[in-house]
Each structure stands twice: as structure tokens, then as C-alpha cells.
Amino acid sequence: MNPLNTPAGKHVRVDHVALRGVVSASPRTEVRNQDLTDRFSPELIEEIGKMTGVRARRVAAENQTTSDLAEAAARELLADLGWEADSVDALVFVSQTPDYRLPATACALQSRLQLGTHCAAFDVNLGCSGYVYGLWLASRLIDGHAVKRVLLLAGDTSSKLVNPDDRATALLFGDAGTATALEYDANAPATPYVLGTDGRGEMNLIIPKSTYRGACGTTPALPESHPDYLYMNGPEVFNFTIRSVPLMVNAVLEGAGKTVNDIGAALFHQANAFMLKHIAKKLKLPAEKFPLNIDRFGNTSSATIPLLMSTMEDRQALAGDVVMAGFGVGYSWAAALVSLQQMRVCRWVEV
């Protein structure tokens, strides 16, 4: 086996990249689980809340898209950092809820943010693992000397994808958009990544009525699912996560010669509180290094990790190295050991 390829995933390293700032944007509208008693019984709401950890979520307005949230976050970030719009060399938009089938939402955001026409812009269709994959892609552009500054915009408005009567998803998913600034820095420490995919899980987290697959008459039939809405096979996703995430996190730490004692925090995709606490126990992570915000924001897909950073009360935990781990739809997973010593901006806004 190639030493870079392990059961945990592919091991890669990126040099000379500094994460300068993160701004996360949430919709102003808060929906509490207890507000949904017209659809679900109080007993069921309490049961699901205990399992998922979700007590409230931010939900986008009918005319508010992921790009609107990401744009607001990006404007705040550029202003906070003092970056001129023309200084941004690339824009990467990570989302599974783009504005259009085409053109790429990244192109629209380049115009709306008034970035230079020299700016490369493209979309990445990833969900739960998307933020860490986006960091890797943006960093490789910089490490490869193609660009010096990159805006990574990641987020989803998953509330628009769920069946409002589906107990498995309606009480779980929230909305958010985020912006992360990355820049070339010759003195930045190396960032190790572990990346992996197992497409055998494609049917376990899916919107069955895909535009083109459905047009071919081959929309998959799944139990108790509506083809137009998000379907989640909770037990299978749980088993995948418990199996894959500890392996991935240990691999990225071992590759860097670190242990959980050497990190300030483990920033995990906010998928399900019960599942995350189980993983933390397996990894022997103390509670103070394992922040959660799923109770306030729900599962915001590709936005969860930067949103977690932006809303953490203990900012001292972000002063050094942190592990970031994304995992889910695909199946897809990615982890990184990221230095935040050079991060100058980290905040949350409502729009």
C-alpha cells in the first residue's frame, strides 16, 4: 500500500498557507423545536431533541439563498481584514444548495462582491465534508503558487430540502453561510489532511429525484421517502460515522506526530449530538476540547465547522492547533490539523 493511502484515507500536506479569518452568517429567523407542535407531538419532539441535541435552528427566508448568506459573511470578512476586493485571486463556493443549476454560483458571487475579473471562481458540490475539502482545495491553489489570496465560501440552506413532515430531517437541519480567508505565508506551518470517499453510501443521504437521473426514468425508490425531498437513512449514516471518524481523526493526529493533548479543540461537523459524544468518548476527548453548537443552530451541512468557530465562547481554544473533521453525505470525509495562530477575525453575524 502507498504510505500516503491508508484505510482512514489519503494523507496529504499543504505548506505556506495561513487562515486569516472566518465570518459566519445565520438567518435572523429562529425556529425552536417546540414551535412545531402542530406537526409533531411534544413527546416526539422531546425524544428527537434528546437524540440529536437540536433545540432550535436558524431558517432562511423564502427569498433568501445560501449565496445571500455567504455574500454577507464575505463582505464583513473583507472589511474586517482590510482586503481590497481586487486582491482576491480565487473564490471557491462549497454548497449543495446553489442558486442555479447553471451558471456556477461562484461566478455570480464574484460579480456581487465586485472581485476582479482575474479572479478564478468555481463551485464544489459537497455537503458535510465540504468545508475541510474546501480548505484543502483553496490551500492547494495557494501552495501551488497559482494564487496568493482565496475566499472560501461554504454553506447550505438545507431547510429548503427537507420534507416538513419528516421526523428524521425536519427537526435537524438549519441554514448558514460562511466566509473564510486564506493567504500565502512563507512562515505558515504545514497543514496535514486526511481525505476519503466511499460512494457505496450514496443512497443513504440523498434527494432521490435528481434532475438528470430522474429524467432517465431511474429515480431510486427508497422506503418512506418523497423523491423531491432529502432522504436520510439514519442508522446507516450513524454506523458509517462511528466507523470512520475516529479512524480519520487518529490518522491526521498521528501523521502530524500529535495527540489530543496537543490540540486546543476538536471542531467536528455538527451532525448529531449523541453521535458526536460517542465519538469524543472513543477518542478520549475532554469536554472542554469538544465544543458543540448543534443545540442552537442544528445541522448546517458544509457551514457547521466555521459556524462553530464563530460562535465558540472559549476563544482561547482557537489560539493554536485544532482538528477539523467533516463527514457524511457521499459518503465523504476529511480531517485536517489546522493552525489558527494567524487568524485575525472570527465572528458571527445575523442577516
The verdict on whether 216 is a catalytic residue reads no
Specify whether the CB–CB gap between 14 and 136 falls below 8 A. yes
The verdict on whether 128 is a catalytic residue reads yes
The verdict on whether 261 is a catalytic residue reads no
Please tell me the distance from the alpha carbon of residue 56 to that of residue 34, in angstroms, as a whole number: 8
The residue from 11, 16, 299, 346 that is catalytic is: 299
Q: Before 103, cis peptide (omega within 30)?
A: yes
The residue from 33, 204, 233, 269 that is catalytic is: 269
Please tell me the distance from the alpha carbon of residue 217 to that of residue 209, in angstroms, as a whole number: 10
Distant-in-sequence contacts of 258-263, Cβ < 8 A, 24+ apart: 258/321, 258/337, 260/284, 260/285, 260/289, 262/321, 263/289, 263/320, 263/321, 263/322, 263/323, 263/337
CB burial string 176-192: b at 16+ within 10 A, e below: bbbbbbbbbbeebbebb
- Count how many Cα atoms sit within 13 Å of the Cα of residue 155 in the half-sphere of its side chain: 39
The residue from 11, 128, 272, 293 that is catalytic is: 128
Specify whether the CB–CB gap between 267 and 305 falls below 8 A. yes
Active site residues: 128, 269, 299
